[in-house]
Structure formats: structure tokens, C-alpha cells
Amino acid sequence: MLNETLFVGSEALPELAKIAVRPTISQVIVLVDANTARQCMPLVAPYLPAGYRVVEIPAGEEYKTLLTCETLWADLTTHHADRYSLVINVGGGVVTDLGGFAAALYKRGIGFVQVPTTLLAQVDASVGGKTGVDFQGFKNQLGVFQQPLAVCIEPRFLQTLDPRQLKSGYAEVVKHWLIADAEAFTRNRYIGVLGIDDWTPIIKESVALKQQIVEQDPLESGLRKLLNFGHTVGHALESYLLQQPGREILHGEAVAAGMVCEAWLSYQKGLLQAEELEQIESFLFSVFEKVQFVGLETEAIAEFALQDKKNAGSTINCTLLNGIGQGVYDQPVTLAEIAQALQYYHRL
């Protein structure tokens, strides 16, 4: 069951309208990127109060930086935004992460609402109160935990996405199945992304699972680390390729590769059966194209894992699988093991 601040489906934008006209709100600022300004604002605008202001930022992971935050902070300062102002973030994971982070820091915190427009943001990035920006090439290196006033998920936004973006978000759905819902994985592993006509039930199911975990561990001191399955290797791969012009990949594509690598690590450590590893690999490769890199790059990619936020000192902590549907967190792995996992993936 979803909590009272999370709305999915036809009720989402009407609930946004109710929040935006609360008498305690002094002004409304809408953060968009170049894509959502064109494709999504026409659907959102009728639900906004008169006098709202739009701040547009460039689209793309490369703009998820402190410098881009300054665009929003400058607007808020120029227009004398006070602590009763409301920021509405309309976009994918870059917009919701960055907008939430900027709102959390402005005047020590102003209210914000997440209106995620990609599948990735709807099932993962906008839910759970994580905000952040990239720094010096490392994913989400700077960030705070700050819960939004609400998350308003309208599945109609998914009609604006190309298949590659849909697949990217689907990776996080699959992750939720692998760490906590073996039955859903079994039920859905023969269905490709393009075979899904109505995303609402999948979004609700996936968000409810994540929300259940987050409510038990809001600051990621234990159980919430399960949600990082695929991300230790995935973030390392994504960060490495982000620094290689022309080789950038989407977050979900990196996570899908990371899930293959971390499933293999689970198998190597005796946690996952060979049959289960094969099921995971065959399903993921039926949806996602293989991420391309050369074998000589594996050690350089693995080095990025040293910056993973789950680490304790020099120990790299990874979330692995103790069977499909049963994630286990704080599993120590070495740089050499991560490089070996990447080599395994490269050879597949």
C-alpha cells in the first residue's frame, strides 16, 4: 500500500494542484529540463496556480552538477523566494535528484514536490528522499536525505519516452524483483518492455516495495542498502563511461550490466545457484544490449567502486543475492573481484 504522500495514476496531477494552492505557499517554481519543458509541461500546466515560474536547465546527466544548481538558486534569490516557496520538479532522475537537492539546501530547506516523467524516476529516483548531484565524475557524490511533500506519478508521461529510456527504467523494476520478489521475477521474465501496455500496476507494485524498505530504514544504515543491488559495479561503469565523450550510457543500462556482474559475484561466493544466474542473465540480455568496453579497461572501471557510498573505510560493500528474491547487503568484495566480474560480463 502506498503512503499518503505518494500518488500514482489519474489522481496524481489533481493532488499536485491541491498542494500548489495551499495558503501557506508563497510562490511556486517549476524546475524542468529542455525535454520536459516541451513534452511534459503542457500536461502539468493546467494543474498549476496562476503566477508560477519556470526554471529550465539543460537535459542530460552531465548537467547534474553544483553549477546547474546555481541556476535554480540564482532564480530563487533574484525573486526573493522565502522558506514558504515550493519547488515542483518535473523531469527524470536528473531533475528530481538535482531539484530536491537544491531545494533542501536553499535557506536550509524549502518544500518540493516530485513529478517524475521517466520510468526510472517513477519507480526509483523520485521515491525515498534521496537527493544529490554528481561531483568530479562520481555519481551522486554530494547529496542529502530530504523527503518531498509529495510524489505525483502520472504514467501518461511514459508515452513521451523512446524504448531505450523505458528500458533504462525497467532495470530498476527488475532490481526490485531480484532483491525481494521472486514471484514477480518468475511471472514477468518472459515479458519484454514493449509487451507492456499499462505500466500503472507495475509502477504501483515497484514503488510499494521500495517504499516498504525505505520506511524501515530511511537513512540507509542497513536494510535500504538492498536497493543498491547492481549499483556498485553499475555506478562504477556509468561513471567511467561518463568521462569518455561519446560513450555515455543511461543509468538503467549501467545497472543492468551491474546486476549481471553482481549476480555472478553472488554465484562465485556460493549464494546463487548456477541455474538462477542463467535465468538472470538470459532475462537481462533479452531486454538490454550489452554495454561495450574493452577488457583492458576493467581495472580502471573497478577503481571507481572505491568511491561507492556503501563502503566502510577501504572495504567495498556490495549488495548480492542469496537466491532470486533475497538480497543481502554489506557483502565485502575486493577490487580484483569487481574487475573479474567485469571481465566475465565482457566475455559473455
Whether 235 is catalytic is: yes
CA distances to 5, 97, 138, 161, 240 from 91, in Å? 18, 10, 21, 12, 24
Q: How far apart are CA 76 and CA 115, in angstroms?
A: 19
Whether 61 is catalytic is: no
Looking at residue 91, what DSSP letter applies? E
- Select which of 64, 139, 189, 224 is catalytic: 224
- Select which of 35, 64, 130, 238 is catalytic: 130
CA distances to 66, 76, 111, 145, 337 from 72, in Å? 10, 6, 14, 19, 41
Whether 248 is catalytic is: no
Whether 172 is catalytic is: yes
- Select which of 35, 89, 188, 228 is catalytic: 228
- Select which of 175, 176, 235, 310 is catalytic: 235
Q: Are 68 and 58 in contact (CB under 8 A)?
A: yes
Whether 224 is catalytic is: yes
Q: Are 287 and 192 in contact (CB under 8 A)?
A: yes
- Select which of 139, 189, 210, 346 is catalytic: 210
Whether 80 is catalytic is: no
Q: Which residues face 54 on adjacent strands?
A: 30
Q: How far apart are CA 16 and CA 341, in angstroms?
A: 44
Q: How far apart are CA 130 and CA 35, in angstroms?
A: 23
Q: Which residues face 57 on adjacent strands?
A: 33
- Select which of 251, 310, 337, 346 is catalytic: 251
Whether 210 is catalytic is: yes
Q: CA torsion sign, 116 to 290 to 227 to 135?
A: negative
- Select which of 175, 231, 310, 346 is catalytic: 231
- Select which of 61, 220, 253, 276 is catalytic: 220
- Residue 149 — left, alpha, or beta (φ > 0 → left; ψ -120 to 50 → alpha)? alpha
Per-residue burial over 127-161, b if 16 or more Cβ lie within 10 Å, else e, is: bbbbbbbbeeebbbebbeebbbbbbbbbbebbeeb
Whether 238 is catalytic is: no
Catalytically annotated residues: 108, 130, 172, 210, 220, 224, 228, 231, 235, 251
